[in-house]
Structure 1
Amino acid sequence: MAAPLPHPSMTPPPGERLVRFVGDRLRFEVHDARQARPPANWAARLRTNLGRGAALRREIIQAHARGAPPAGASWRDIPMQRHERGWFLELPLNETGFFSAKAYLLDHRGWQHWPEGHDFGVSVHPDWARTANTIYCAFPRLHGRTRTARVTADPALEARLQSLDAAGYTVIPPSGKLRDLLPQLPHIVDTLGCRILHLLPLGPTPTTYARFGRFGSPYACLDLTAVDPALVEFDKRTTGIEQFLELAHATHRHGARLFLDIVINHTGWGSTLQENWPQWFVRKPDGEFHSPGAWGTTWEDLVELKQDSVALWDVIADSLLVWCRRGVDGFRCDAGYMVPVPAWQYIIARVRDEFPDVVFLLEGLGGAWEATEALLTHGGMQWAYSELFQNFSALQVNGYLDHALKQSARVGTLIHYSETHDNDRLAAQTSAARPVPGDAHAALPATGQPSSSAPPGRAWSLLRNHLCALASVHGGYGFTGGVEWLADEKIRVHGCTGLNWGANENLVAELGRLNRLLAENPCFFDGAKITRLNPGDSDVLALLRESAEGKDAVLVLVNLSPGESRTLTLAASKLPGDAFFPPGGRGAGGGGGLFDLISASAPPIRWNGDQISFSLAPAAAHCLATTDKPAGLRGDAYRAARARAAWAVQALCQVRPAESIDGFDWRELAAAVDRSPRDFLITASAPLRDPESAAGSPPFPNVIEWTAADARRFTVVPPNHWLLFEDEAPFRLTLDIRNPQSETRGTQHISSIPAAGRHIAALAPRADAADATIRLERLTSHASRLTAELRFLPAAPGSAPPAPRPTDLALLTNGRGAMARLAADLGRVNSKYDCVLGANLHPALPVDRHVFAKRLRAWINADGFITPLNFHNLARFTAGPPAVWRFVAQAGDGRTVEVQLTADLLPGRNTTVFCFSRPGASEARGKQLPAEADVRLTVRLDIEDRGFHSETKHNAAAHDHFARHSHAFAPEPRQQHGSAP
């Protein structure tokens, strides 16, 4: 009887999705569910593309460019380790992206047995996105002189402006500037505690052509990389891009990140894309351009792009890379669900190849959840808009939060915006169904003072912000600028509305307290366990949040009813330990020793047997804990330790196979890096360099340390050496590799992390040769940028000479003081000391050289095609002596002609000899000219008559000197010129 087929069972289950972060580790297990112990002659493998992010991105890019499915070269099989019931494998997560894996069993015959179901998938987010992803959405236009107004609507003024419109005039009032946001950064980052500044689109908006509204919409973008001149302060010193760079630098200096709203589904009418590539836009059957829309509304000021062209995707990807190079850390993808997954895959792969830590935030409102899940996984995005802001009843809120908590752990963080720029202001409502009466919007002058009266929606706004923040995952919570000032005028993207900035009645303190809680308490960090305790129809939301370490827990209580008190009764068994027992024992009143982390006092609590009741005032919110400060690692200390651990994991994966790095404790890695980054790097790479070294033998210190003082030096990095950057201030570093032969990508961008009392970054060891430039931006109050040159040396001498540079030199001598100094770029002059002949005129002693010829230039006429012999057609250069140039010049019809020039000084003589030749057919390359073809050379020498340290000036005296002292002599076959002695 045949043995029953195995039934492989895998953990995590096939088809499951998980969210993890760079620096984490992921454990896989597989076993045969029909056998208690695995057969001795069986094995298990994990097939995965984890750790192969670069190869996966190349596959995506090449597949779309060629119109073919990915080749699968990023996948590999990793042997799993045997344990009692089956097999397991732990892998470190060292790069951002979406990866897949599936384990299988391998029997004694070599047959594969796979678990049922789809591949497991993990979305790996950047390490910095673990906590406190608190977002401030700013519409730069609103931060000008109307910022302090509660309401800007002025019907009388608008009527006068419309009369000018009717007469053909264009009237656009002043806009806020990017520089208006600069002085608000301390308020946004320090006071409110927001760690991400999200800007609405910055591109030029329509003015005289197809403008809708008084100002035009920023979503009707006309240029993907330009800055709207309306947002730029005219100062005759800086450009709009430079003023954006000021804002980016200041944001980073405050310890925050910068997100930019992007629009790639459509443009405004007359955009650069529409004018230059109209074929990329959707047309109706009658040829009219199509305008997109949603929720039954057509956006007539927009024209929709077709997303079926890789050329368009390249333009979009290039534009995003431009913004990343300017300092953008993430993108809010407007109407992202309207762009197909393959387009996003391609665009994000191209961006992530250069900027691996960029986050893509999907605005998928109005799209199906299936589209959101696809974009958060295979599409390559990390975050998406939550829809909590448009759920209000108890059933809606509880039901949606169950979905949001589950999916944030599976596919990507859902960001709870309490208010978006598309919706009515929270402060303009007293509840979800009761907007503020119309007279509350009486018009004020655009430059009026902020309101001193509280908008009627204060309690409602505070309730919704409490709900969104306290129910967030990874601290993913945001709001639109003005929420903190109880702004109640709805934002109109075609206009300029007030923010009520500086109002006496505000939520600044409350929102600041909320954001600090999300940033400090580990119950709101990655890995926290979140459990809803209340019934689904309860008006009181109860969330138990327990930290990943298990050392801290908080109970979140929110009364969803803005008008009535509510009581929630829970079983005591649902709460951790004895935390909620009052000092007087069961049955006593009050909150005992509980601390409310966001309110002045805990709510009334009543015990009845094993039941505990909480009484909440209307719209009340509480975050209850047994201590006022967490017991576990918290706040910046946690983020810094995690950053060091992620840095360590990435460093280890640069020099070791990922599967060999298992069982690590991130706390130990972080501590090792903090003790000495240099020693950690040395130890990390030691086993691979010398696996047979004796135990205890000190490893070779293969680390080159670089500080700001080295910026003036040319730093040489030996093969297989780390380059460790250290500075007293945080910094961002860009490495540009110039030579095209390098196997490493052309540009790398690195951000520093805090370690050992300084800020550090590192470049991994490499074996191939490369010349590179580093640009280091120090995040200090005064922008400081350093530039330096690097040379990475090869592990072994290469068989091919390095590619010449135009400024490379050949230095030739005659053995008694004369010299020639010639550039690889024939005819190029780098300095006054370059010369064809610098003669030593004394017969026996070295004296100051005398320059007779400055440079030599040559042209070849190959069968009628004239080409200069210079760096543009230089195939090879050897400095010698003798110096040798090999040129390949075009001769028409795909033919080439090769010319070799050899130059040397005759020993003991003030004579430079040049020899031009054509290689024989056996040495030549490509389609050569036939031997009978006409090939001629024109050679021109620039003569001089000066001392070595002097310079020849073109003036009357010099002209007279050369006219009187030059003479012609004519030996066969050419006439020549010489200088008088």
Structure 2
Amino acid sequence: MDTQEKIIIYQVFTRLFGNNNLRCKPNGSLEENGCGKMADFTTKALGEIKALGATHIWYTGVIEHATQTNYTRYGIKPDHPAVVKGKAGSPYAIKDYYDVDPDLATSIPDRMKEFENLVKRSHKAGLKVIIDFVPNHVARQYGSDAKPEGVTDLGEKDDVTRAFSPNNNFYYIPDTKLEGSIDLHRGAAEPYIEFPAKATGNDRFDAWPNSNDWYETVKLNYGIDYMNGHSRHFDPIPDTWVKMRDILLFWSAKGIDGFRCDMAEMVPVEFWGWVIPQIKAEHPELIFIAEVYNPGEYRNYLFNGKFDYLYDKVGLYDTLRAITCGWESATAIPQRWQSLGGIEKRMLNFLENHDEQRIASDYFAGNGSKAIPAMIVSACMNTNPVMIYFGQELGEHGMDTEGFSGRDGRTTIFDYWSVDSIRRWRNGGKFDNKFLNEDEKQLKQFYTRLLNICNSEKAIREGVFFDLTYANLAGWVFNEHKQYAFLRKQENELILIMVNFDSIPARSAVNIPQHAFDYLGIHRYGEYEATELLTENTEKLTLMPDKTTPVLLDGMSGKILKFKL
């Protein structure tokens, strides 16, 4: 690789990847349904993920979280079932910031060592490691039994008589018991008791969370008094800031390569601007990715919060999903990147993750291959990172009724379960594709080609981008509502990318304006032999300013045509 690498993230829900159980029961326990382990990420498995084109692997759900599984014999305090979502529990209800989730270990007392070995194995396979950092909230019964010597636990020294104090780690509802419209027994002999009640993770500052709230979590206090006009108390530095910095330094020292920061915009930007430079001073290569959903805050979190990358959910994801489903015109794509005003290289593109519905689910496209055009756009539009979610490359349906997570088109993050497509692809660790059907094999081949092209082609990895929409409006042979075309160029290599969001084939033709030739410095017009990179077929195409270039496109597909100038 000459210079920069395009980041390709393979997000994997760690506890589900290696589970071979064919007959999982809805709401089944760990004993009934089984659980994948860190050890299932063998050298072979990691090699297969690397072969897909991944540069980074995001192990989701590594840090110990609340669960209904009893680990008291290992010195881990049990959680009350009323404040745990699902039998396995949510990986975003952190119970001990200094420990690895015991579900993931083959030998529970050695779980941290197993994680350190997983990091080493991943690096050996050529994959960098990302883990979650969950800064906004913790499990209701947070308590670290693995914290290093000298570390004071969150809430240990809080003044619980005060609703807010800059020195407190939590927010309180003084003299009030947690009530809520949730079942505080949930099958246990004794109800869950919390006195005084703490504020709930999704900014509920009362004692009455309901089943739609993040009722299993409590909000961390970074020095903002939400009940008094959001007044900010950042001087002196709040105690929570220091504790969270130490936690980030603890995990950074394990050799990881990045953090995906959960709900980063619910934590004040001033904290990020303070903490990220300190972590990078010791680990300069580490990347920070923020889950943010408010475009009005993007620049703030990039420039003041010092994040490297942000989720592009409400922009590109929502638009590509709507176009794929036939609800929106492809002419919306230019508006999306233009609205970013120059920060598009700092956005993380994706079509699936643990929060979103699976492409192949009944709630999205109903078939994984229907998102091929959207995936080409998402991956090839710019030099910014792109992410896929494990099973996306196989067209995983996500239509199981797993337990707490009902039949919602998502792969559960709350239950012990086994992912059908992944289980068949793994085939007990052989990865021989023996149990994949033809459609799954083809889709996997498409993803493998596409994601590898992102780094093997310097025009995509680091080249300039030119959107052709404006020169192809109201044309005879280019349907701008169903087709989208753009150019990428680096040195003497030009790539024309065209996709068709229609289910029927298109005899399309794209107009490349004189401005594109001038802007990209293309001086030779005429006929070229182009290589279509997804199939390696060659096509003869004419490049002339303001003269259409005919391209045949199959339904729900695209072409990546490379010219040597």
Alignment TM-score > 0.5, same fold: yes
1:561-605 per-residue CA deviation (whole Å, 9 max, x = no partner) reads 3456363431453554477744xxxxxxxxx61111113546896
Tell me if the contact between 2:359 and 2:392 (Cα under 8 Å) persists in the aligned partners. Answer: yes
Letter in 2 for 1:463: P
Percent identity (aligned) = 20
Change in CA separation of 1:494 and 1:205 when aligned onto 2, cut-off 3 Å: same
1:355 corresponding residue in structure 2 = 283
TM-superposed CA distance for 1:182, in Å, is 2.7
Among 445, 455, 459, which residue is 1:509 paired with? Answer: 445
Letter in 2 for 1:182: T
1:463 corresponding residue in structure 2 = 373
Q: Distance in 1 between matches of 2:277 and 2:2?
A: 20
Among 473, 482, 489, which residue is 1:539 paired with? Answer: 482
Tell me if the contact between 1:171 and 1:214 (Cα under 8 Å) persists in the aligned partners. Answer: no
TM-superposed CA distance for 1:411, in Å, is 7.5
Q: Distance in 2 between matches of 1:335 and 1:622?
A: 36
Verify: 1:428 aligned to 2:361, yes or no: yes
Among 314, 317, 328, which residue is 1:389 paired with? Answer: 317
Among 85, 88, 93, which residue is 1:220 paired with? Answer: 93
Tell me if the contact between 1:203 and 1:228 (Cα under 8 Å) persists in the aligned partners. Answer: yes
Q: Give the total of aligned pairs.
A: 447
Among 453, 462, 477, which residue is 2:386 paired with? Answer: 477
Verify: 1:276 aligned to 2:185, yes or no: no
SS across alignment from 2:306: coil
Q: Over aligned residues, Cα RMSD in angstroms?
A: 3.2
Among 125, 130, 135, which residue is 2:4 paired with? Answer: 130
SS across alignment from 1:626: strand
Tell me if the contact between 1:534 and 1:541 (Cα under 8 Å) persists in the aligned partners. Answer: yes
Verify: 1:625 aligned to 2:562, yes or no: yes
Q: Distance in 2 between matches of 1:482 and 1:248?
A: 22
SS across alignment from 1:241: helix
Change in CA separation of 1:619 and 1:435 when aligned onto 2, cut-off 3 Å: closer
- Which residues of 2 match residues 912-927 of structure 1 at below 5 A? none
Letter in 1 for 2:457: N
1:722-772 per-residue CA deviation (whole Å, 9 max, x = no partner) reads xxxxxxxxxxxxxxxxxxxxxxxxxxxxxxxxxxxxxxxxxxxxxxxxxxx
Q: Distance in 1 between matches of 2:411 and 2:269?
A: 31
Tell me if the contact between 1:205 and 1:216 (Cα under 8 Å) persists in the aligned partners. Answer: yes
Letter in 1 for 2:419: G
SS across alignment from 1:281: coil
Name the structure with the higher strand share. 1
TM-superposed CA distance for 1:406, in Å, is 7.1
Structure with the bigger RCO (C-alpha within 8 Å, sep 6+) is 2
Q: Distance in 2 between matches of 1:613 and 1:544?
A: 15
2:134 corresponding residue in structure 1 = 263
TM-superposed CA distance for 1:375, in Å, is 0.9
Change in CA separation of 1:530 and 1:277 when aligned onto 2, cut-off 3 Å: farther
Among 494, 498, 512, which residue is 2:419 paired with? Answer: 498
Q: Distance in 2 between matches of 1:200 and 1:499?
A: 19
Letter in 2 for 1:298: D
TM-superposed CA distance for 1:435, in Å, is 5.1
Change in CA separation of 1:300 and 1:146 when aligned onto 2, cut-off 3 Å: farther
Q: Distance in 2 between matches of 1:532 and 1:580?
A: 19
1:404 corresponding residue in structure 2 = 337
Q: Distance in 1 between matches of 2:113 and 2:14?
A: 16
Change in CA separation of 1:461 and 1:323 when aligned onto 2, cut-off 3 Å: same
TM-superposed CA distance for 1:539, in Å, is 2.0
Letter in 2 for 1:555: L
**394-403 or 516-525: bigger deviation:** 394-403
**300-309 or 171-180: bigger deviation:** 171-180
1:143-167 per-residue CA deviation (whole Å, 9 max, x = no partner) reads 22248x6xx7645xx4xx69xxxxx
Unaligned runs of 5+ in 1: 1-126, 163-169, 437-456, 583-591, 632-981
2:39 corresponding residue in structure 1 = 179
TM-superposed CA distance for 1:217, in Å, is 0.6
Change in CA separation of 1:497 and 1:409 when aligned onto 2, cut-off 3 Å: farther
Letter in 1 for 2:347: L
1:67 corresponding residue in structure 2 = none
Q: Distance in 1 between matches of 2:543 and 2:494?
A: 20
Larger of the two Rg values belongs to structure = 1
1:340-393 per-residue CA deviation (whole Å, 9 max, x = no partner) reads 11111122122122112211001113xx21222111111111101112222135
TM-superposed CA distance for 1:612, in Å, is 2.9
Tell me if the contact between 2:136 and 2:263 (Cα under 8 Å) persists in the aligned partners. Answer: yes
Normalising by structure 2, what TM-score? Answer: 0.72
Letter in 1 for 2:46: L
Among 488, 510, 521, which residue is 2:457 paired with? Answer: 521
Letter in 2 for 1:205: H
TM-superposed CA distance for 1:258, in Å, is 0.7
Q: Distance in 1 between matches of 2:514 and 2:356?
A: 41
Change in CA separation of 1:520 and 1:600 when aligned onto 2, cut-off 3 Å: closer
Tell me if the contact between 1:372 and 1:384 (Cα under 8 Å) persists in the aligned partners. Answer: yes
1:934 corresponding residue in structure 2 = none
Tell me if the contact between 2:59 and 2:130 (Cα under 8 Å) persists in the aligned partners. Answer: yes
Tell me if the contact between 1:602 and 1:622 (Cα under 8 Å) persists in the aligned partners. Answer: no
1:722 corresponding residue in structure 2 = none
Q: Distance in 2 between matches of 1:595 and 1:182?
A: 36
- Which residues of 2 match residues 61-460 of structure 1 at below 5 A? 130-146=4-20, 154-155=25-26, 158=27, 173-183=33-43, 184-189=45-50, 191-206=51-66, 207=68, 208-209=79-80, 210-234=83-107, 239-272=110-143, 273=153, 276-278=156-158, 279-284=168-173, 286=176, 288-293=197-202, 297-308=212-223, 310-365=238-293, 368-387=294-313, 388-392=316-320, 393=322, 398-404=331-337, 407=340, 409-410=342-343, 413-429=346-362, 436=366, 457-460=367-370
Name the structure with the higher helix share. 2
Tell me if the contact between 1:334 and 1:362 (Cα under 8 Å) persists in the aligned partners. Answer: yes
